[in-house]
Structure 1
Amino acid sequence: MKKFTLIFIAIIAFALPQPTFAQTNDYASTLSDCAAKSIMDVNSTGCMIGVAAPDFTARTVDGKVIRLADLKGKVVVLNFWFIACAPCHVEAPVMKKISGEFSKDDVVFIAIAREKDADLKKYLADEQFFANNIADPKSAICKNVYRVFGFPTTIVVDKTGKIQYYSLGGMTSEAAVDKVLHAKLVPAIKGALENKTLK
């Protein structure tokens, strides 16, 4: 019997509430247009490439304040997830390994979890993820700023603040995740480091 890798997407409401952080209309309108027919068009069409990433300011679980605008000149990898997300757990070890591959480069990995601070700290005590972990219990960043409607979602922001990679959804096989992320995410990070913009 053939084995199939199923793709799962954790869907949340795709509403457009009033933002509580700075953001660009270009991002919100492009994402809305992109997903108008199908949310998977965001993956398949590359419509978010070249769009300015919305700014946000947040505090990590260990107290460090991060502002996206302050990271210009570096490549930023944003990973949106939550603890009960099964595909997020499959992806986590691969993402952690990839972050280690770029530890000596100007790449900042930021994990943004739709969790309470205390719950995220408790989880990370046993399952350390990236160096920069942000709790986003009210979805202030996930929903209000980045309009995330599928988990996990990973975005690569280049040195100028523009998106060079946008992927939503995950897989049930770690081997499949490893193959896909090394075929797509890793080249996107390397390209952003070399200032090779895709759009």
Structure 2
Amino acid sequence: MKKTGNIIIWVAVLALLIIGAYVVYNRGDSEEYIEDKIAGDINKDRVADDEEDGTEQENKIMAPDFTLTDLDGNTVKLSDYKGKIVFLNFWASWCGPCTSEMPEFEQVHKEFLKGDDAVILAVNLTDGFRETEEKARKFIDDNGYTMKVLLDTTGSVAQNYNIYSIPTTYVINRDGSIVTYMEGARRGKVLLDILEELKK
């Protein structure tokens, strides 16, 4: 009887933990929560821009510059895109949530090509084991994606951006400062909405 009572208690505790994790997960993934977070981050960035006492750079976090090679063998620097809004997406072909957002990101990339305001840089976590250049290239080619893919073969860029889970997308403003970041798969509309907000 005592053993049965202990089992019931443990099952109840486990159920509470699962429910709690579900609530936290869904709160962090809800569109309303994401929109509120991004709006707050964008407004903080604007407050820093409005400072007139010369301390605005102290209120901003500048995106670490980097140099990586793209799938065509070209050397690409983040600073090459200063003056544009950069959506820096960290991904791998083995990551389900990463691949699920790629079709919409590709459509957003095509929208960005119509103007000169923004760019998507897709940083592949090319560790040489679970993810190789060949796997990344095959995934991109098989799906006909045309967005700029960069190969982080040493993991240094992911480390500098504190990437603990993928996909993660950083939003970098025209001056090179970090506006916000988003963990988990995102709809393409989120990127377009952020761009429109930053263009105001």
1:149 and 2:164 correspond: yes
**Which amino acid letter does the alignment assign opposite residue 176 of structure 2?**
G
Farther off after superposition, 56-65 or 46-55: 46-55
CA displacement 1:117-166 (0-9 Å, x = unmatched): 232222222123343111223312112x2111111111121111112231
Query: 1: distance between equivalents of 2:182 and 2:102?
Result: 15
Greater RCO between the two (CA within 8 Å, min separation 6)? 1
Q: TM-score, normalised by structure 1?
A: 0.64
1:30-69 alignment to 2 at 5 Å?
Answer: 50=45, 51-69=61-79
2:192 alignment partner in structure 1: 186
Normalising by the residue count of structure 2, what TM-score does the alignment of the two structures yield?
A: 0.64
Q: Please report the RMSD computed on the Cα atoms of aligned residues, expressed in angstroms.
A: 2.8
Higher helix content, 1 or 2: 2
Offset at 1:45?
5.0
How many correspondences in the alignment?
148
Q: Which moved more, 1:80-89 or 1:123-132?
A: 123-132
Unpaired runs of at least 5, structure 2: 1-21, 46-60, 127-131
Is structure 2 residue 138 aligned with structure 1 residue 122? yes
1:83 alignment partner in structure 2: 93
**2:174 equivalent to 1:168:** no
Unaligned runs of 5+ in 1: 1-5, 10-38, 171-176
Rounded Cα–Cα distance in structure 2 between residues aligned with 1:109 and 1:137: 19
